[in-house]
Structures are given as structure tokens and as C-alpha cells.
Amino acid sequence: MQENIIIAASETQSHRDSLVQPTWQQQLSHAIRDPQTLCDRLGLSHDWLAGAQAGHDLFDVCVPEAYLNRIAYADIDDPLLRQVLPLGEEAFTPHGYVVDPLAEADHRPAKGLIHKYAGRVLLIASPNCAINCRYCFRRHFPYSDNSPSRAQWQEALDYLRSDTTIHEAILSGGDPLAASDRQLAWLVEQLESIPHLKRLRIHTRLPVVIPDRVDDALLGWLSATRLQKVVVLHINHANEVDQAMVDACARLKQTSATLLNQSVLLRGVNDDVATLATLSERLFEADILPYYLHVLDPVQGAAHFDVPDSEARELVARLRDHLPGFLMPRLVREIPGKASKTPL
């Protein structure tokens, strides 16, 4: 009898353990990080493996389970798969494709800080990402030189304090939400102590790829700050917007944050009118406003995603026939040395 009780108790505990949702940190640590596992999990032909390995050798694959579950099985043309599957084409480097397409190295007055535009600065709050998007313009970024310790952050914070024309701090990365909530709460507390700062902007893909990242700890420090809050999500296709992501965005809205989205126009992912229109509609259903539609930054390894400017302009012109003005993203390119994004 005693043995039966022990066995029953053990089985009950095992059942409870199986029902425990992994934390976002656990989900991130268990992300797929090799191309063979990615191909095997998605039922892809091993014909793709050599190219996937070649691309992985240039820029590591990283795909969390929550994102993998939205990718169609055995469909090499799935638009979400296209964003994360390494290809041999990444080794091709056409003229004009460089490691620093935005010339950010010219605008780093302090470790972890980029100051390109008037009135706002960008802070590299984390060198890490939850997903490695193959078109990433910072795939070659020297994060090891731009990941300040708390002591080293003081130089960047002093820079902000000394320039009263700066009104907005933008947390970037990597993905800023890959940092711990303890670190982010500390950093935001430092920022809100600077009187002339008004806004906090966070550019992130983590609520998209691991929706559980929007937990109570994040909501706590984000709700508490006096700064106006803007969260810019990076969503390129309507299939990325599942119910878990919608729920995460609803939690973010409870902090009084404004939710915007910027997309990258990518060959084979969203380079048609119907896909872009569906994306805008789906975003608005999730209480997110379309913001920018970027053409591809010419970073080495991503040339196969390029959509020429003339084609991009035509797509957006036709998109206007399908959407109200408030759902139209603004087609832009970032040109090094310009004072702002350049409309196309």
C-alpha cells in the first residue's frame, strides 16, 4: 500500500511538471541552433542541408520552438522559414553589400551607444537575439565591443545627461528584451532620472518569437517608468501573428505603451500586395499600427532577399488601393549620413 501511494504521488508530480510552461529564458536556451535539427524538425529534404550548413557557418541559426510551431511542415517556400533558414547564397557578396550597411561605426561616441539622428540615441541593451533573421543588418555587428557592463554604462549615461537636445532613448540590440528584467529595470531607472528625456522606445522581436517574454517582471518595470513608452515590433508576415502573440501585445498595451510595427520588404516573404495588405489588417486586429516598410539594408549575406526600389514603389502604390491610409506603412530606406530615414 505504501509503495502504491509513493508511485501515485510520483506520477502526480510528473504530470504537474509536464504542465508547467517553460519560462522565456528556458525557451530561449532550448532554441534550435543547428541546421540539421531545423531541417529534420520541419521535414525538409537533406538536399538543403549543405547550403544550410554553409549559411550557418557564416551566421548561426537560432529558432525558438514558439516560432518553429508557426512554420508549415515540409514547405521550403514557407515565408517564416525563409526568414530563418540559412542558405548557401549567403556566401555571395554582390558589389555594394557590406558588413556595416548603415555606417554605425561612425556614430558610436560611447560604448553601447549610437547617435545618428537629432533628438534621439540608440542603446545596445543586449547583444543577444531570440532568433537569427537571415536578413539582419547587424549580423556582422561587433557586439563584443558594444556590450557595456553597469560601470561602463555610466559613460553612455553621462553622454545623455550632457546633451539636453536628446529627448528619446531607443533600446536596441541584438534584442533589448533578451536582457534580464533586472538589468532593464536598472537601465530604465537611470534613463528616467535624466530630466530632458521624454520617451523610451524599444525595438524588439522577442514578443513575436517568444510571446511568453511579456511576463509580469517586464510589465512591472515598463509600467512604472514616467517615460512615454513606444514598443516597435518587427513583424514581416501575417503568419507570425498567432494568438499567443496577440495576447502578449494586449499585456504590453496595459502598460500604456504605443505599439507600432516595422517590416522589411523581403523577396519570397512579403513581396506581393496581398501579403502586405493581410499583414496590415492582421496587425491592426492585434492593436498594432504599421509604421515603416523598410527596403533591405545591403548587408553581406542577405542579397537574395533584395527587392529593387522600383518594384517596391510599385508594390506600395498598388497597396494603397487595398488599405485605408492609417494602415499604410511608410516605404523607406536608411542611407548612411542622412538626418532621417529616406522615403522612397
The sign one gets for the Cα dihedral 322, 325, 326, 331 is: positive
Cell triple for 46: 537533406
Identity of the residue numbered 25: Q
129 assigned ligand-binding residue: yes
CA distances from 222 to 99, 142, 170, 199 (A): 33, 28, 14, 12
3-state secondary structure labels for all residues of 306-333: CCCHHHHHHHHHHHCCCCCHHHCCEEEE
Cα distance between residue 263 and residue 313, in whole Å: 15
39 assigned ligand-binding residue: no
Any idea which residue has 545618428 for its cell? 116
The HSE-up count of residue 308 (CA atoms within 13 Å, CB side) is: 3
Where do the H-state alpha helices sit in the chain?
A: 2-19, 24-29, 35-41, 49-58, 65-68, 79-84, 150-162, 181-192, 206-209, 216-224, 243-253, 273-285, 309-319
136 assigned ligand-binding residue: yes
What angle, 0 to 180 degrees and rounded to 10, lies between the N-to-C axes of helices 243-253 and 216-224?
30
Cα distance between residue 249 and residue 251, in whole Å: 5
Cα distance between residue 101 and residue 77, in whole Å: 27
Residue of 202, 187, 192, 206 lying closest to 149 (CA atoms)? 187
Q: Do 189 and 218 form a contact (C-beta atoms < 8 A)?
A: no
Binding residues for [4Fe-4S] cluster: 129, 133, 136
Annotated binding site, which residues?
A: 129, 133, 136
